Structure 1
């Protein structure tokens, strides 16, 4: 009976801690969606001539051997695999097996009142604070309370105020404005 209570209390504590985590810390758990500029690897098993590296063009499509143009903008990796299978079947292959992986994410941009504004490689798990650190940190004129992120989701951009713990995704733009001096 004592063991059962201990297990129950442990499970309850774990559930409480998990629910207390801010949502932004869990943003990275969402499935990645492909957007223009991503570099992907496509493997069609048993057909090396149909496999290779491809970059999504401005419209979010790739041109694949036999399949032609396949729209992948906004698709998850599993969705991209299914779209490629549909493009290859039934005219070219009876039951194609396809895998898609991201080979290169778009960079992030850190602009405004940071020591070294510019373009930086995306790293999984990157936060606003991490992006600002990549750019050398805040300048003395930075307004740390008004940082915003322009999110690159699909082919559209949405800006929103950001906390330092918020996740940064591929293609996002972190803006650090100048504080009012008067």
Structure 2
């Protein structure tokens, strides 16, 4: 390896890995090719993102665009499906607008039960709430059909890619980017393709260099 080639490898901050008995031009070219490959890997799209932060499992809270089914035992007029609007409320018969955004289903059920009792509409009402439609998830980049897709509990980044038609031939398939809103804060991080998604996540599939 001549001095110019050594400088090229050194500029990539890589160690020399050429056996002492290596001779000739072919080993030198192979070393430079390996160095270039590793250097490209180090600066591949998304490779510099921090790892997606791990957060402890928490009770899921409602957001705008989601649909819930409310059941008030023995009260068919109060039972039905309701959508959380952009203001974060649902419109419930006899109660009007009820705050829903940021509440768990149990908290929303308790709010409705308390309102019904305080307004003397029902005594000790039994209320249950379940989510029937979650916020969508989004996938961008190197998939065949980027866009918005319905969220399903247990969905992973790879599941979403499959729903979007699979990777393109240019896709970086080893990791993804996940943009997530958590407690009012937006964060983006690199995640394995088996990362379990949450409603509202935005997944980006990067293009590979080689």
Quickly say closer, same or farther: Cα 1:60–1:167, change in 2 above 3 A. same
1:66 aligns with 2:80: no
State the alpha-carbon separation in 1 of the partners of residues 113 and 81 from structure 2: 17
Match of 2:149 among 120, 124, 128: 120
State the alpha-carbon separation in 1 of the partners of residues 75 and 101 from structure 2: 24
Contact map agreement 1:35 1:154 (CA 8 A) in 2? no
Deviation, 1:74, is 1.9
State the alpha-carbon separation in 2 of the partners of residues 103 and 152 from structure 1: 21
Match of 1:100 among 117, 125, 129: 129
Deviation, 1:69, is 1.2
Deviation, 1:153, is 4.5
Q: Which residue of 2 aligns with 1:34?
A: 62
State the alpha-carbon separation in 2 of the partners of residues 127 and 162 from structure 1: 11
- DSSP 3-state at the match of 1:140: coil
Structure showing greater radius of gyration is 2
Alignment of structure 1 residues 4-23 onto 2, 5 Å: none
State the alpha-carbon separation in 2 of the partners of residues 93 and 146 from structure 1: 53
Deviations 1:1-50 (A, max 9, x none): xxxxxxxxxxxxxxxxxxxxxx97x97x6433211111111111111111
Query: Number of aligned pairs?
Result: 157
Contact map agreement 2:69 2:81 (CA 8 A) in 1? yes
Contact map agreement 2:62 2:100 (CA 8 A) in 1? yes
Q: Which residue of 1 aligns with 2:113?
A: 85
Contact map agreement 1:142 1:176 (CA 8 A) in 2? yes
Q: What is the TM-score normalised by the length of structure 2?
A: 0.66
Contact map agreement 1:64 1:70 (CA 8 A) in 2? yes
State the alpha-carbon separation in 1 of the partners of residues 75 and 125 from structure 2: 9
Deviation, 1:175, is 1.1
Extract unaligned runs of 5+ from structure 2. 1-52
Deviation, 1:180, is 4.5
Q: What is the TM-score normalised by the length of structure 1?
A: 0.75
Contact map agreement 1:34 1:154 (CA 8 A) in 2? no
Quickly say closer, same or farther: Cα 1:96–1:154, change in 2 above 3 A. farther
Extract unaligned runs of 5+ from structure 1. 1-22
Q: Which residue of 1 aligns with 2:15?
A: none
Q: After the TM superposition, which of the residue ranges 124-133 and 153-162 deviates more from structure 2?
A: 153-162
Please give the root-mean-square deviation of Cα atoms over the aligned residues, in Å: 2.5
